[in-house]
Chains A and B, each alone.
Chain A
Amino acid sequence: MIFINTFKTHKSDQTINLYMKNIKYQSVFFLLLIACTVQAQQFTASLKGYVKTTAQQGIAASTIRIGNIYSSTDETGYYEIKNISQKNVTITASAVGYRNTTKTIVLKAGENTFDFELVSDQKEIDQVEVYGRTKAQEVNRQAFNVTAVDATKLYNTTLNISSALDQVAGVRVRESGGVGSNFNLMLNGFNGSQVRYFIDGIPMENFGSAFQINNIPINIAERIEVYKGVVPVWLGSDALGGAVNIVTGDRFKSYVDASYSFGSFNTHRTVINAAHTTKGGFFFQLNAFQNYSDNNYKVTVDVADLNTQQYKEGVKVKRFHDTYHNESLIANIGVVNKPYADKLLFGIVLGKSYKEIQTGARMETPFGGWHRRGTTVMPTVKYKKSDLFVKGLDLTLNGNINVGTEQNIDTVYARFDWYGNRKYVPGKGGESSYSMYKYKNNLAVANAILNYKLSENHSLSITDVFNSFKRMGNDEVNPQNASLERAKLSQKNVLTFGYQYDVRDRYSVNAFVKNYHQHNVNGANEIVKNLSKWGYGTALAYYFTPSFQLKGSYELTVRMPTPDELFGDVENYEGNFALKPENSNNFNLGINYDFALNAANRFSLMANAFYRNADNFIYQRLNNNQTKYISDNRDGVRSIGGDMDLHYSHSNWFTAGLNMTYQSVVNTQKYEPDYTGISPLYKKTMPNIPYLFGNLNAAVTLYDFGGKDNKLTFGGSLQYVHRFWLYWPLLGGTDEESAKRQIPMQMALDGNVVYSIANGRYNIAFEGKNLTDNRLVDNFSLQKPSRGFYLNLRYFFNK
């Protein structure tokens, strides 16, 4: 309580200087505080209720303030404030578009209820949608450098999670083809597994090929949080630089959301989400989705003749062996709001995927028979309880194991040309490598999050995440291949201790320490490797005004190599068991600033600067035969860059956004293996990394179009990636004859029209992708879809 009293002497309108002086004292008192606050609770009361409009509708994201304690309402207008130590309190409720309301009430010990009714402020009502903070915007205000994508705004599109992420500043998703193709997400200089994925805080590392961010439709998510650099404690994993958390949310107690789309390249997608909660607290939820595409878009390639093997250059052909489909279902059943559990859910994730492989790491060689199949069979359990044993102690437990299988099928011993003609080779074999290898990764994840809120401002947390991988399999056509048969094992544990101090809309401080441990066994020769590392970090945020926030964070991150990096993915990715864990010193500095020229013209700016200095940096390169990718360590890689995201809205009918990212990623390996001299590539730009890219989008909405509660929206987006070199920029000539390989500049223009009827119950959307039909390439020579059109129908109902 000492601390809070100190702070109280400085009212919000006092100068920053005064506040800064106090920081020293504050840090000294941190430890004392923890003890003091526990003892100081003689009178405790909690207050809850709703903030509503005069029409009795809940107001989301409104602010409730008692002295220096702040809280905000959820989507339904509900708020809750715990641990109030005074009896007589003055409460203020404020929300954008409404007049502030202040009441003085007398609290009784224990629970109190109080509802507010706010009168609308006519002058500002038009800006509610823009200015009122959604949950996604709330996330952006954390001390971490984070961008939250409000997925609900994208529900009428055919986007999957990865393409939605591609529109975030600092993020670039590189894809190798059409629907279901391999992807690599790059975030502030890091990519691949250096960025970790979570769904509702649960690591997604074990979800299998049938359930990946490139095939999960956007409608599954309520929002997507992109943490750049430092990752919050409760996402306790081993990301080297950033994490993506998909929040599915439980916005409504009972709802149905169903959509179906079809379009070019015989692409079909269906998504059904439904949930129902009974009065008795019984909860049932179902998410089901399906993607299908022939991916038979046209590409321009050098076509080799099957007999003379001569190339015919620049021939336009249709992809002929690239069908992808996946079907997934998530079902959860359980109880909510019971004395023993806020939430206890048992569920299952079932998924199935089929993927034909058209090319290797290069387009010159088409395949015509090689394909993969995968299944996900994953029982899950989720448990959550607040105020367990004592007030403020929250426990979350999650566990799941994926016992699904993956199979690599390559049994056609023939060469194909780009027209789909084949020429058999005598004997037995495969196109790449004769295989029917079927394996289970037996991926399991368990995590526990224990959070103790010592007072309104302090909290402590412990997070533990355990991952286990055990690949076992056999190959019926290659029974003697011992390397496939003996188990490959990888187990990882990440334990995090965190402390948070938070004063709403003023500042917040996070600090944490992490321990990483990994145990690996390579079955082929039974080599055992144990790896152990420590990491730590901090995140700070300071609000100059409620709409101008400065934040900074630092972390020494560690990332253990993933099972696929160690053992390969049995497709286009080769294993490297010798990989060492990578670590990085990450610094971030960011600002969030919302400002308005006048009532109609509003801006929101997020800017982020980053510095990453990584050791034993794990990066992907082509293997020595250029048939597969392989991961390798470099002594060091340093990235410096920045990204910014500017949003503009005019009244409630026009919005535009621009984001830009620039990064310089240089090699800091001074000596190459087997050499004693300083490498000519020391401090030189790394190859094959986009360094300048951006996105521009705009949308116009016409309200009450063709009837009341109907809405027509036109949207467009333009994506730009600057040209970059495939190999070391320093090496080789750059004139035409030197044939230096580059990934050319790319510009993709997409457009859409969405018509929503009856307040969004029925929606029809028409989308055009790559409208100018540019040849798009993310990975060298692997062309992405040509122009395509899609129609999306969606029904949404909730109660």
Chain B
Amino acid sequence: MKTKSLLSVLAAAILITSCSKSENPNPVDPDPTPGVGKYIVAVTPIASTGVADYLVTSNSLDDGKVSIIGNGIEQDGTWRYYLSTNNKFFSFLYGQGNPGAVTAYNLENGKLKKLTNFQSETVAAFAAVNDDVLMAKMSRNLATPTHTWYRVNTNSLSIVGEGSMNALELANNGEIGYFSWLTQVGNKVYAPFFCIESSSFTTKYPNKAWVAVFSYPDMKLEKVFTDERTSYIGQYFTNGLGTVENGDIYAFSAANATSKRKDDPTKSEITTTNPSAILKISSGTTEFDKNYFFNVTEISGGYNIVNWTYVGGNNFIVSSKKKQSDGSYSAETTIAAVNVVDKTFKTVTGLPNASEIKSFTQRNNYSKKDGKIGYIGVNLKSGKSYVYKIDATAATATTGLEVEGGSITAIEHLD
């Protein structure tokens, strides 16, 4: 018994000497007033060690400052993808092969509140369809050419349906059809795809665009329509379709499909010869409009489009790359305002110098779709990040919310 009491005394001694030393300053919430609606900013910390984005909230994107130092919800995973639908915020973990957790949040008293975690397969495309989130997990291996899709109901927050398809049947050319994204159009799902020979993402068909049309919710393949004036629609993990107010759908192609090099098949190069372009799918049709063609390469003077955000009024804010003399595209990104009806391409002014910019936020930029304003994240090499407010009609940018501690990966909004 003596021994036991000695043990507990020493255990207590260990405990006392080990009072937690925290360097976490726990700063005061920079934004203490609870608002009706809130913006959610996902921030990847500067020194990422395979670490999650932190989620912070703000009442405004136009000014103020938020920080992830001592503040913010910590998430698991580095590659997180986000979607807001049914007034819920979904955070998907991309886990390459392994299932990962999807966390759903809503707003409660102006704070993000975790609703549930559920498991999901690693998907490379997902979209809100009715009250569901439709997700697709895709194969990159010709030996196992099966794509699987899942429907998550955003009310019950569980998987309510799933199925699979033969990835070789999409293009019917011996290559896997790999969805760049999924988009609800009426009661159908349009899925633009590109063709790949292997996980290196090369193709023998660099000058063609494909869109698969599926019924919903049973995801039966109804049709594949194509076009040979440009290259594939969208980018890997990027939505290449934009639906405007009158129901017409516009689709961009970056014209950057790659093929294996003839001299060294372990390397690849861009082999698309068609220009980067925007195509149109008129409302209610399942065809590309043969009478519409927006030659982006020509009108912009050598740029393509790799990503876009619709702000309403036929205006898109686009990320572009300039074509180099060797056929590749610049590493540097140029932000431009595009009007798909007027076929205009205007470089946005008022952004920091390109040499100071580390990256722009892709995919999850925000717009109220008022026909004019979009918000994009600009991450500077100095370590500072800002939300910039872009006026797509004037093609100008102004500084908004400052974000401390990392790079902005998503800007979302919940009511």
Contacts and interface: CB of A to CB of B under 8 A. Distances in A.
Interface string B3-26: 100110011001101101011101
Given A427-B146, A677-B382, A728-B49, A310 B118 contact: yes
Given A626-B93, A732-B72, A738-B73, A718 B7 contact: yes
B185 interface: no
B96 A728 contact: no
Contacts of B116: 310-311
Contact of B6 (A364, A627, A656, A684): A656
B50 A672 contact: no
B22 A729 contact: yes
Interface in A299-314: 302, 304-305, 307-311
B405 A680 contact: yes
A712 interface: no
Interface string A358-384: 001010110000000000000000000
B287 interface: no
Contacts of A718: 7, 10-11
A580 interface: no
A734 B382 contact: no
A112 to B, nearest CB: 51
Given A674-B358, A741-B74, A432 B97 contact: yes
Given A311-B119, A676-B381, A720-B14, A625 B22 contact: no
B77 interface: yes
B401 interface: no
Interface in B93-145: 93-101, 111-114, 116-120, 122, 139, 143-145
Nearest to A735: B26
B397 interface: no
B51 A674 contact: no
Contact of B11 (A625, A684, A720): A720
Nearest to B8: A718
B50 A623 contact: yes
Contacts of A747: 11
B159 A307 contact: yes
Interface string B74-93: 11111100000000000001
Contacts of A679: 46-47, 383
B6 A681 contact: no
Interface stretch (A60-68, A282-290, A331-339, A692-700): A692-700
Interface residues of A, number: 75
Given A311-B116, A624-B50, A667-B47, A677 B74 contact: no
Interface string B303-345: 0000000000000000000000000000000000000000000
B413 to A, nearest CB: 20
A434 interface: yes
A739 B74 contact: yes
B331 to A, nearest CB: 11
Interface string A688-718: 0000101010101000000000000010101
A365 B14 contact: no
Contact of B68 (A415, A684, A685, A732): A732
A732 B10 contact: no
Nearest to B117: A311
Contacts, number: 209
Given A360-B98, A698-B6, A734-B24, A311 B118 contact: yes
B179 interface: no
A722 interface: yes
B363 interface: no
- The interface residues of chain A, by DSSP majority, are classed as loop
A729 B74 contact: no
B96 A627 contact: yes
A660 B152 CA distance: 50
B270 interface: no
Contacts of B47: 667, 669, 672, 679, 681, 728
Contact of A729 (B24, B77, B96): B24
Given A432-B98, A694-B14, A310 B158 contact: yes
A723 interface: yes
Contacts of B283: none
B351 interface: no
B49, B144, B382 interface centre (most CB from chain A within 10 Å): B49
Interface string A607-648: 000000000000101111111001010000000000000000
Contacts of A698: 3, 6-7
Nearest to A667: B47
Contact of A660 (B14, B24, B54): B14
Contacts of B74: 727, 731-733, 738-741
A730 B70 CA distance: 6
The 9 tightest CB contacts between A and B, nearest first, are A677-B383, A304-B119, A308-B158, A622-B50, A677-B382, A732-B74, A625-B96, A621-B49, A309-B119
26 contacts: A304-B99, A304-B118, A427-B145, A433-B97, A622-B49, A623-B50, A625-B95, A627-B95, A627-B96, A672-B383, A676-B381, A676-B383, A678-B383, A680-B46, A680-B405, A681-B45, A714-B3, A723-B20, A727-B49, A728-B45, A729-B23, A731-B74, A732-B68, A732-B70, A733-B26, A739-B74
Given A626-B95, A727-B52, A738-B71, 11 more contacts: A365-B119, A432-B97, A625-B98, A630-B50, A679-B46, A696-B7, A722-B18, A727-B74, A730-B70, A733-B74, A739-B114
